[in-house]
Amino acid sequence: MKKTKLVRKTEVAVTPDRKTSRIPGFYRLSVEQRLAFLARAFNLTDDQIAQLRDGSALRVRHAVNMVENTVGVFGLPLGLGLNFVVDDREYLVPMAIEEASIIAAVSKGALLIREGGGFVSTVDDPVMIGQVQVLDLDDPEKAAAILANHKSEILDIANSADPKMKARGGGVLDIETRILDGGDVGRMLIVHLLCNVCEAMGANAVNSMCEAAGPRIAKLTGGRVNLRILSNFADRRLARACFSLPVKHLSAGTSQGHEIAKKVVEASRFAEVDPYRAATHNKGIFNGIGAAALAFGQDWRAIEAGGHAYAVRKGQYRGLATYRIEDDNLIGEIELPLQVGWVGGAVNSHPGVRILRAISGVQNSRELSGLLASVGLAQNFAACLALCTDGIQKGHMALHARSVAVSVGVAPDDVEKVALEMIKRGDVKVSAAEEIFRNMCRQPVVDRLERDLPVKSFAKGKVVLFGEHATVYGYPGIITTIDLGMRVRIKSDSHGPRFLNPQFKQAFPVPTSDSDFRLFSRAADAALEYYGLQNEPIAIEVESNLVPGMGLGSSAAFSVALCEALRKYKGSTVESHWNSRMFEEAQRL
């Protein structure tokens, strides 16, 4: 494996154009709070947020032009891998996967590695291999020599299939030949076209170039050309990632860091010498890479095929990630082919991919390769660490318990309680979940925490009596407050901070929409951040007599009531609604 230069830092620097990927307590936020955070951090539109929430970015009208016999769209859970620093840049990693614990594990692995300065990556030029199979040759060696003498001609013909790629500085750069024994089909000459595909994954371009060069190769050699297609064993397009982590950061409980690091190295050696272990070792790597590649619109099947081929290149299937100890540091390394594209394919045809690319911070295919290699290494490191300490089942069991609770119809707000009770009993089964949930339903609902935290506030609405439209042009108007308004209540919530659905009380149907809730949620998220309450175990409830969007000051009333409630929660006094500081704080929302 080519060694990647490690640059150790004591503190990770955040580049000016990029927010940190370290978001403590992100998992504790409600989905709406997470979406509100993304909307604010990345300037996402309401439509883009709705696409993420509903999984509606890819619609049938898009899918019908992507695959044949389209009948619908199949969804997968989409999450974010956190804490990644690669080559001094911060990245959020979108991951689409159905298996529990993957995203939590990769985020934990990246968080630990962050303590040592993050990942360092190196990525080869994007050179793909196209193969032309030539058969029925009397003298394959002589045919190979003929092709070498006509290399320039073959390159010109191949590049004529994609002149734009050649103009961008890519295209077929060289050819090489191999002679293989095909057994009953005889000896065959394999011609490799080495093509720099620039920002593309390259499959279509390379295939076209092989097909263009095939007839000339057949004529020059006098042989019969059969297959003309790219190879997914892209060993000229390798990506590497590594990290150096002081072993002191691995200490846990009574186990010392150097002991745990030694166990990780022992697990690594196991995967290097035993293909039975290596298969599971590498499966963990592709848990991360495959999930991220899918979210980025990449051909994850090609990536995995190339990775497995690379794992067996020396004649025995081996682990792709390795570990060693140097000077009280655990060194982790990974090297594998990564054939990714930043243009073409699903990257351009899937609307959701464009949103996720904006969130990730990735700018080009080279960065994507380095990030995917780092994701694979973080995923494997987290798995090895779990296997060497608590065992893999501890984390799996907690997530499995939630899945079991959901499967028996437990209400979303009660899933965590049922899961924790099953784990406490050591009985994570459908029957146990049903029993626990039945018992919960029989118990009277008593808000014990309500008495512990009676924080409430109220802000009045307003109405324009005269000049509602004239004020737009700078003319005076007459405005007054009304007794109707917005009530905000803060109560204890072990899963908080959370913003709960606002309740409207009206005698007629109230127009509500996702955008209404999103506006409230974004404001609540911004207020929690401003007051430094992002990790507080609280829930924010809203009860309104104001109809949103009707000119009654619903948004302003919510901002004032929320600021007042959070001030009270922190123990700050509010002298008056006319307090200038309160005005400034409400204006921030």
Is residue 99 annotated as a catalytic residue, yes or no?
Answer: yes
Q: Which residues are CB-neighbours of 47 under 8 A, at least 6 positions away?
A: none
Active-site residue among 283, 400, 456, 568? 283
Provide the residue count of the chain: 589
What is the C-alpha to C-alpha distance for residues 188 and 179, in angstroms, rounded to an integer? Answer: 6
Active-site residue among 46, 54, 99, 328? 99
Burial of 284 (0-12, 13-18, 19+ CB in 10 A): buried
Q: Which residues are CB-neighbours of 452 under 8 A, at least 6 positions away?
A: 492
Q: How do strand 329-337 and strand 321-326 relate by DSSP bridges?
A: antiparallel
What is the C-alpha to C-alpha distance for residues 364 and 130, in angstroms, rounded to an integer? Answer: 23
Active-site residue among 62, 150, 396, 568? 396
Q: In this structure, what DSSP letter does residue 74 have?
A: -
Tokens standing for residue 378: 């973080």
Q: Determine contact, residues 106/379, Cβ cutoff 8 Å.
A: yes
Nearest C-alpha neighbor of 132 from the set 234, 209, 221, 228: 228
- Decide: helix, strand or coil at residue 201: coil
CA distances to 159, 192, 499, 554 from 171, in Å? 6, 13, 54, 59
Nearest C-alpha neighbor of 375 from the set 294, 438, 264: 294
Tokens standing for residue 36: 């509100």
Is residue 283 annotated as a catalytic residue, yes or no?
Answer: yes
The sign of the CA dihedral 382, 418, 253, 112 is: positive
Tokens standing for residue 173: 């750069």
- The side-by-side arrangement of strands in the sheet containing 187-196 is 171-181, 187-196, 127-135, 224-231
CA atoms within 13 A on the CB side of 202: 34
Active-site residue among 32, 162, 199, 299? 299
Dihedral over alpha carbons 412, 417, 420, 422 (to 10 degrees): -90
Please list the active-site residues: 99, 283, 299, 396
